[in-house]
Amino acid sequence: MKEKRIKFTCPLDCFDICTMVALVKDDRITKIEGDKDHPFTQGFICKKGKKHLERLYHPKRILNPKKKVNGKWIDISFEEALDEIAEKLVKIKEKYGPSAVLHFYDSGYGGISKTVDKMFFNYYGGATVHTGSLCWGAGIEAQKIDFGGNKGHAPEDLLNSKTIIIWGRNPADTNIHLMKYLTEAKKRGVYIYLIDPIRTNTARIVSKHVSIKPSTDGALALGMANYIINEGLLDEDFIKNYVKGYDEYKEYVQRFTLDYVEEVTGIHRNEIKELAESYAKNKPSSIIIGYGIQRYKNGGNNIRAIDALGAITGNIGVNGGGVNYSNKLIGDYIQGEVAKSDKYAVNRRTYSKAKLAQFIMNADNPPIKCLFITKSNPLVQVPNINATIKAFEKVDFKVVIDMFMTDTAKAADLVLPATSILEEDDFIYSSMFSPYLNYSKQVIQPINDIIGEYEIFRTLAKKVGLKEYPDIDREEFFRRELRPIMEEFDISYEYLKENPFTIKNRDIPWKDKEFDTPSGKYELYSEIAKEKGLSPIPVFIHEKKTEDEYNIRVITPHHRDSLHSQHFAFKEGKPIAYINERTLKKNNLDVTRAATIKTKYGKLTVNLETSENIGDDIIMIYEGWWHKNGSVNLLTPDEISDIGEQAVYYECFCSIKNI
């Protein structure tokens, strides 16, 4: 049989959303490569994307529904599995109400088709679901306060900048298609700063790396603002016409002198001045914000303080400017059947996502009687895993849908296999960076006749008796979800299937200087924040360690070769803790021996490796390791940030000793 080439799109929770080509012969995929015809990703893909082939045919992939009987797994049919789930859901709803079911989901798969999990539980009457975020919630809410929404500049607009600040982001490892624009910008003479407590791989292409003490980013931004204001480097017209609350903000930032900010951040005063002058004078200037700087208790205010730099210098609404954190452009138009179902969730109950364990343990009226987990692996990814394991043990019935027997799946009572992106068609988009909506074509039939999530929930809806649930095929579901795009831009469904779609000729965000805030202006002073009990202006919350026993901060960034825990499933060995020589000696550690890291929440055995890329009094461990190796979230606190109910993974302090 002649080899076929079929295009599909990577559904991972990634900035880039790469389109790829699967080579198929005799109904088996032999290779995956990049799609050179895609206008954005242009054939360049990472290791994570190529791993879809390995995961598809992996011998440890789950191919049948599994039920735990007397502590052992047995294979059952889909009919048996769905009958049992439906029976449990009906009984729980009748006795306790729909909010006795907790639906935990995240972004393990980015396609539209698998958002029907939310739709199902809306029609069920409204399960218990999370608010807040494990990933980016503090920054999202902070920018909503400041701008009224979340918009980012097109990547190519960086070529119009004269100064770029990459603040707490590592695109070299996590956003490879941004690197093309950064590299080209530097060739054109753009000066690029990287602000990060770790000298990441991105430092190799920037003009200057500025090492900062963790959690002090807000102080640096306010110190830069102090210098900009006092040196008269403002855009007074922009402030006068388009900014609310400048006087209150100006009064507050006066305390952030160069001496004070140098002491707090560990950055020399001359570097602070240089950053401020370059950003304010050498315009237009762009800031690219990462997720690390909002994973602290002061994370939301860190983002607000950085946003403010754009406002006071007039680097908002101009080519080559912007404070770029996310880009929800495409997502604003995905408003079909799932959005319509929201009105049926009349008994929805919520909790802060980072506090999953605390909520389950304390939930009453009703207690949590069922955990239904989709597109996620919470027993690896949520903070304070030890407490979460105990919380899971309290719940009577647990269902997980996944391709592999994750640590979360192992804790379940019933596991349903998930389809791969290669086994079904879908539409994929991101709210982070890529401006494209991509159609992903089904490459092969599902192995072992696995039923995908779309049909799982469609069938469950019938068995549970959800009469309002739309009993439509997947194709019709896609048409309804995408109808707002088709109507707004006068394009057909067939066009969307044949062409990567982006909103062409879109304006620079906030170009018209009309912000989606109550005042219609950029809000340095926010009444909405005040009403929520937050500071109305961006402030710096100086968190200090209080326990001498735990004197080293643990930072847990994403690994280049894995999306959270998805590619650590079959990795061997212990996690590596990276530490610099000064911190090593200060704590009397021998790098040739394994060590135990201990926090208030748990402990972890690691191997040590020295790296001068790591700041003082910091240990860096990549997140994503499974329990068999030792998960970093055995160490992390289940607390939330000042804004946005964000998990504060980086508020993790430890002691460390050799074994």
- At 232-288, the pLDDT tens digits run 999 999 999 999 999 999 999 999 999 999 999 999 999 999 999 999 999 999 999
Give the phi and the psi of residue 378 in degrees, each rounded to 5: -60, -30
Q: φ, ψ for residue 307 (rounded to 5)?
A: -55, -40
Adjacency order of strands within the sheet including 323-324: 208-210, 191-195, 163-167, 285-289, 323-324
CA distance 321 to 610: 38
Backbone CA torsion sign across 214, 216, 218, 224: negative
Sort residue 46 into left (φ over 0), alpha (ψ -120 to 50) or beta.
beta
Q: What's the average model confidence in pLDDT over 478-491?
A: 93
Instruction: Work out the pLDDT band at 546, boundaries 50, 70, 90.
Output: low
At 499, list the tokens. Answer: 């062409």
Q: Residue 48 and residue 613: Cα distance in Å, rounded?
A: 24
H or E element in which residue 414 lies:
strand 414-417
| Helix axes of 217-230 and 269-281: crossing angle, nearest 10 degrees | 60
Selecting from 2.60.40.10, 2.40.40.20, 1.25.60.10, 2.40.50.140, what CATH number does the domain 552-658 have?
2.40.40.20
Residue 162 neighbours by CB under 8 Å, 6+ apart: 189, 190, 191, 282, 283, 284, 285, 320
List, in order, residues 6 or more apart from 187 with CB less than 8 Å away.
Answer: none
Per-residue confidence (pLDDT) for residue 545, from 0 to 100 = 62
Return the half-sphere exposure (C-beta side, CA atoms, 13 A cut-off) of residue 345: 21
Cβ–Cβ < 8 Å for 632, 577: no
Could you read off the pLDDT of 171-194 as tens digits, one per residue? Answer: 998 888 899 999 999 999 999 999
pLDDT of residue 211: 96
Mean pLDDT of 97-117: 92
Q: How confident is the model at residue 506 (pLDDT cuts 50, 70, 90)?
A: low
Residue 2's SS3 state is coil
Q: What pLDDT shows up at residue 435?
A: 82
Per-residue pLDDT, 261: 97
Closest alpha carbon to 429 in 326, 543, 521: 326
Q: Is 575 left (phi over 0), alpha (psi -120 to 50) or beta?
A: beta
Instruction: Return the HEC string of 198-259.
Output: ECCHHHHCCCEEECCCCCCHHHHHHHHHHHHHHCCCCCHHHHHHHEECHHHHHHHHCCCCHH
Give CA–CA dist 34/358, Å, rounded: 43
Residue-wise pLDDT tens digits, 325-365: 988 778 888 888 999 999 999 999 999 999 999 999 999 99
Q: Is the pLDDT of residue 198 over 80?
A: yes
Q: What is the mean pLDDT of the chain?
A: 93
Residue 505: per-residue pLDDT: 56
Delimit the CATH 3.40.50.740 region(s) of the chain.
66-133+330-433+446-502
Which residues make beta-bridge pairs with 553?
618, 653
Q: CATH 3.40.228.10 occupies which residues in the chain?
A: 137-325
Q: How many CB atoms lie within 10 A of CB 80?
A: 13
pLDDT at 62: 96
Please give the CATH topology (third level) of the domain spanning 4-56.
Answer: N-terminal domain of TfIIb (2.20.25)
pLDDT value at residue 562: 77
Q: Worst-scoring range by mean pLDDT, 32-41, 79-88, 186-195, 436-445? A: 32-41
**Helix locations, 444-525, DSSP H:** 453-464, 474-489, 493-498
**Range(s) within the chain of domains with CATH label 2.40.40.20:** 552-658
Q: What is the pLDDT averaged over residues 398-420?
A: 97
66-133+330-433+446-502 to CATH, choices 3.40.309.10, 3.40.50.2020, 3.40.50.740, 1.10.150.530: 3.40.50.740
407: confidence class by pLDDT, cuts 50, 70, 90:
very high
Written as one string, the DSSP assignment of 124-153 is TT--EEEESBSSSHHHHHHHHHHHSS----
Determine the average pLDDT of the residues in 223-233.
97
Q: Which fold has domain 137-325?
A: Dimethylsulfoxide Reductase; domain 2 (3.40.228)
Residue 559 has pLDDT above 90, yes or no: no
> Roughly how many angstroms between the first and final C-alpha of the chain, as a whole number?
58
Cβ proximity of 479 and 493 under 8 Å: yes
Min mean pLDDT across 420-424, 433-437, 653-657 is at 433-437
Strands 576-579 and 603-610: parallel
Helix (H/G/I), strand (E/B), else coil: 19 = strand
**pLDDT tens digits, 117-173:** 999 999 999 999 999 999 889 999 999 999 999 998 988 899 999 999 999 999 998
Which among 134, 129, 131 is positioned nearest to 118, based on CA atoms? 129
Q: What is the pLDDT of residue 597?
A: 97
Q: What is the pLDDT of residues 593-629, one digit of tens each?
A: 999 999 999 999 999 999 999 999 999 999 989 999 9
Q: Is the pLDDT of residue 558 over 90?
A: no
